[in-house]
Chain A
């Protein structure tokens, strides 16, 4: 399956198993979504379970909150994560606060699917990495799968989770990868990273589509220079797998974080702060961060020079490995 097919299969599986699951969003019905992630689901489950909504992200998110309060398990599709800002209050004060602010009486078991990240010549509307806002808000889980298998397992986990979960889908990978995925309803645990590649010299932690660039750089560095890079795909950002990262850094003594979101207060800042707190004595060099810049994502040049590319990833790994006091 491709990532897109895996996401579709996960929703179909859960809709067949649990009649509380409904999908709502712009163009999700007849058209199957602008990317076709929900293709065929309205035909199979009917227009009461796969609902075309008005063009209104805050309305989609807010109605999904209400549906979840009343016991449904809505999956709200935001057409592009760049449009999610319209729903910000709904996710921040709606979805992610009911449980806490009612002393645990109400909960909002909804999923927000947001096609995210750059790499499709989309300019800043269609290339957003909004994770940091939602990590900061609290009360919401966040996952970012980057393989078909992870997409299937994490979307299933998100649908079954008792709390609101934001699924950042890797737009540039929707049809770019194929994987054997058993459509057997097995969910992946949220909060568990994946050790993608073992290596003794330096740890690179990443998530989203860049995972594949990081692995390619690691392979090149091993072949060309004998540098062994350990690659960890976080997969879950809230909560994140602190033990997996710290364990790796204690072995390698070096950490490079790679993500597309802007550098300042990006997820890498949190990882760097956490790792220096609990593994200070193990570090041989400053923690390197490769990130998007603190500026908008351009149409021309954004994919090449805003988004971390292989040259920048390789340079950061080299800085980490060659660092000396």
Chain B
């Protein structure tokens, strides 16, 4: 038997920094409401959302950012096992999730905690999920950030990257066959478009026209693989062309544009069926807490994207409209911190799953074999043998 060899080392250099496509948004056909300063000077008209809607959007984005920062520190300090950062992608998922009706179904990927917040999930239940506690909706069985709750019509991603896309399309197709008005949105990343199931879903959707929005968060990187190593297509949206699925590109760091195009796609879903939206955004953080992006991308690239950070952009828009002040900001930040600290303390104190509980829910009723295994485990743990 061979003995262990020394660990392998990365030998490659990071590729040169690629400027954000948003710098050339108009040229690249990326729709915007806001410019880089948060002024409504894009090609799309300002949707003029009511102040309460705008406040909800902004507060959710700020809260998502605060959750991400807190979760990251909990993971780094050893109190949490794993983390999937959402930093930089707040506008893409909050703007689109807000554009759906309350009864619509949402199929999540793994960087969209804001969708849960918008549907009313409590901070404590989110942190209970992050800590893997028995009392959270998924009973602690999924990795942190793989979120969902049937009570909120939110389905957690079940298969590998992107392979769940046709689950959402199949559910939408079922709703169409049943003749109800439910609409669907499914989130996935740029890497997922290389999976066969993305193409299955698009192909079926072109034919059967289920009322669904395929929402691709192109965040620039699939772990260490940049988009130009994922596809030679000029965009991810254009993959819809081959399948006769309506498609467009939107500035994923512009929550108003994301909201507007998603709402429009939702409204025509009954008649037109599916849409593919490519939200051009950027993963400012690590792929996960197990990643090290310094091995494959340069700080200059990240810095160029920080200029497009969606949170200050929306804040400036609100300030220009007289809907936000420094005092509001101070109050919101303090409120987020206080709520998160309370939720962390409460969630961390919740008990982990009991060992026998894992045998539940494999099937509607456990088989004799599962009952046998449960009994054996509990007896062995008890020292009974």
Interface residues, chain A, with chain B CB atoms under 8 Å away: 22, 48-49, 51, 53-54, 56, 58-59, 62-72, 74, 89-90, 93-94, 97-107, 138-139, 141, 162-163, 191, 238-239, 242
- CB pair B170–A64 under 8 Å, yes or no, is yes
Is there a chain A Cβ closer than 8 Å to B293's Cβ? no
Interface residues, chain B, with chain A CB atoms under 8 Å away: 105, 137-139, 141-142, 148-151, 155-156, 158-160, 163-175, 177-178, 196-197, 200-201, 203-204, 207-208, 360-364, 367-369
A87 to chain B, nearest CB (A): 10
- CB pair A63–B166 under 8 Å, yes or no, is yes
- CB pair B163–A63 under 8 Å, yes or no, is no
A-B CB contact pairs (8 Å), 14 listed: A22-B177, A62-B164, A62-B170, A63-B169, A70-B174, A72-B174, A94-B164, A101-B141, A102-B148, A102-B156, A103-B361, A105-B148, A163-B363, A239-B368
- CB pair A63–B139 under 8 Å, yes or no, is no
Q: A67-B171, A71-B174 are in contact. Are A99 and B362 (CB under 8 A)?
A: yes
* Distance of A138 Cα from B367 Cα, bound (Å): 11
B270 to chain A, nearest CB (A): 16
- CB pair B174–A58 under 8 Å, yes or no, is no
- CB pair B204–A100 under 8 Å, yes or no, is no
- CB pair B203–A94 under 8 Å, yes or no, is no
* Distance of A215 Cα from B200 Cα, bound (Å): 44
Report B-chain residues with C-beta under 8 Å of the C-beta of A99: 361-364
Report B-chain residues with C-beta under 8 Å of the C-beta of A104: 139, 360-361
- CB pair A66–B168 under 8 Å, yes or no, is yes
Q: A53-B204, A141-B363 are in contact. Are A66 and B158 (CB under 8 A)?
A: no
* Distance of A98 Cα from B139 Cα, bound (Å): 13
- CB pair B197–A105 under 8 Å, yes or no, is no
Q: A98-B158, A103-B139 are in contact. Are A66 and B169 (CB under 8 A)?
A: yes
A95 to chain B, nearest CB (A): 9
* Distance of A134 Cα from B166 Cα, bound (Å): 21
- CB pair A100–B200 under 8 Å, yes or no, is no
Q: Which of B105, B137, B368 has the most CB of A within 10 A?
A: B368
Report B-chain residues with C-beta under 8 Å of the C-beta of A242: 368-369
B168 to chain A, nearest CB (A): 6
Cβ-defined partner of B137 (8 Å) among A53, A70, A105, A107: A105
Q: A63-B166, A72-B177, A89-B160 are in contact. Are A105 and B362 (CB under 8 A)?
A: no
- CB pair B160–A93 under 8 Å, yes or no, is yes
- Number of A-B residue pairs with CB-CB distance less than 8 Å in the complex they form: 144
Cβ-defined partner of A94 (8 Å) among B105, B156, B163: B163
6 smallest beta-carbon distances between A and B, as pairs = A66-B170, A59-B200, A63-B170, A62-B166, A103-B139, A105-B150
* Distance of A62 Cα from B166 Cα, bound (Å): 6
* Distance of A100 Cα from B178 Cα, bound (Å): 27
A33 to chain B, nearest CB (A): 19
Report A-chain residues with C-beta under 8 Å of the C-beta of B148: 102, 105
* Distance of A99 Cα from B155 Cα, bound (Å): 11
Q: A56-B203, A101-B141 are in contact. Are A63 and B149 (CB under 8 A)?
A: no
- CB pair B168–A93 under 8 Å, yes or no, is no
- CB pair B159–A59 under 8 Å, yes or no, is no
Report B-chain residues with C-beta under 8 Å of the C-beta of A59: 166, 197, 200-201, 203-204
- CB pair B158–A139 under 8 Å, yes or no, is no
Report B-chain residues with C-beta under 8 Å of the C-beta of A89: 159-160, 163
- CB pair A70–B175 under 8 Å, yes or no, is yes
Report B-chain residues with C-beta under 8 Å of the C-beta of A239: 367-369
Cβ-defined partner of A107 (8 Å) among B165, B168, B360, B364: B364
Cβ-defined partner of A101 (8 Å) among B105, B142, B168, B204: B142
Report A-chain residues with C-beta under 8 Å of the C-beta of B196: 58
Report A-chain residues with C-beta under 8 Å of the C-beta of B168: 66
Measured CB to CB, the nearest residue on chain A to B208 is A51
Measured CB to CB, the nearest residue on chain A to B165 is A62
- CB pair B163–A90 under 8 Å, yes or no, is yes
* Distance of A63 Cα from B222 Cα, bound (Å): 25
B156 to chain A, nearest CB (A): 6
Cβ-defined partner of B138 (8 Å) among A65, A71, A103: A103
Measured CB to CB, the nearest residue on chain B to A239 is B367
Report A-chain residues with C-beta under 8 Å of the C-beta of B137: 102-103, 105
- CB pair A66–B166 under 8 Å, yes or no, is yes
Q: A97-B158, A100-B141, A138-B362 are in contact. Are A191 and B367 (CB under 8 A)?
A: yes
- CB pair B167–A66 under 8 Å, yes or no, is yes
Q: Which of A69, A71, A104 has the most CB of B within 10 A?
A: A69
- CB pair A69–B170 under 8 Å, yes or no, is yes
